[in-house]
Amino acid sequence: MAEDVEEASGGLGGPGPLDVGGEAGAELLAEAAGLVVRHAEAVAAGPVAPAEPGTDRIRAWLAGHDFAEPRPAGELLAEVTGALRRWGVHATHPRYLGLFVPTPTWWGVAGELVAAGVNPQLAAYGHAPAAVEIERHVLRFLAARLGLPPAADGSFTTGGAEANLTAVVVALTRRFPGYADTGLTGLPGQPVLYASAESHLAWLKIAHTTGLGRRAVRLVPVDAAGRLDPARLREL
Task: Give the pLDDT confidence of 15-28 residue by residue, as tens digits.
Answer: 777 788 889 889 99
Banded pLDDT at 14 (limits 50, 70, 90): low
Around 173, how many Cα atoms within 13 Å sit in the side-chain half-sphere? 9
Residue 70 φ/ψ region, left for φ over 0, alpha for ψ in the -120 to 50 degree band, beta for the rest: beta
> Phi first, then psi: what are they for 223, rounded to 5°?
-90, -170
Residue 128 located in a structural domain: no
State whether 176 and 230 are in the same domain.
Answer: yes
Per-residue confidence (pLDDT) for residue 177, from 0 to 100: 86
State whether 102 and 169 are in the same domain.
Answer: no
Q: Is the dihedral of CA 59, 64, 68, 69 positive or negative?
A: negative
State whether 112 and 164 are in the same domain.
Answer: no
Banded pLDDT at 201 (limits 50, 70, 90): confident
Give the C-alpha separation, 204 to 212, whole Å. 9
Residue 57 located in a structural domain: no
Residue 194's H or E segment, with its range, is strand 193-196
Residue 147 located in a structural domain: no
Which domain, by its residues, includes 190? 160-235
Contact 20, 28 (CB under 8 A): yes
Residue 201 located in a structural domain: yes
Residue at a domain's end among 88, 116, 144:
116
Residue at a domain's end among 116, 137, 152:
116
Query: Looking at the 3D structure of the chain, how many domains does it have?
Result: 2
Segment 63-91 shows an average pLDDT of 91
Residue at a domain's end among 82, 116, 150:
116
Give the C-alpha separation, 1 to 41, whole Å. 44
Banded pLDDT at 13 (limits 50, 70, 90): low
Give the C-alpha separation, 73 to 93, whole Å. 27
Residue 29 located in a structural domain: no
Residue 214 located in a structural domain: yes
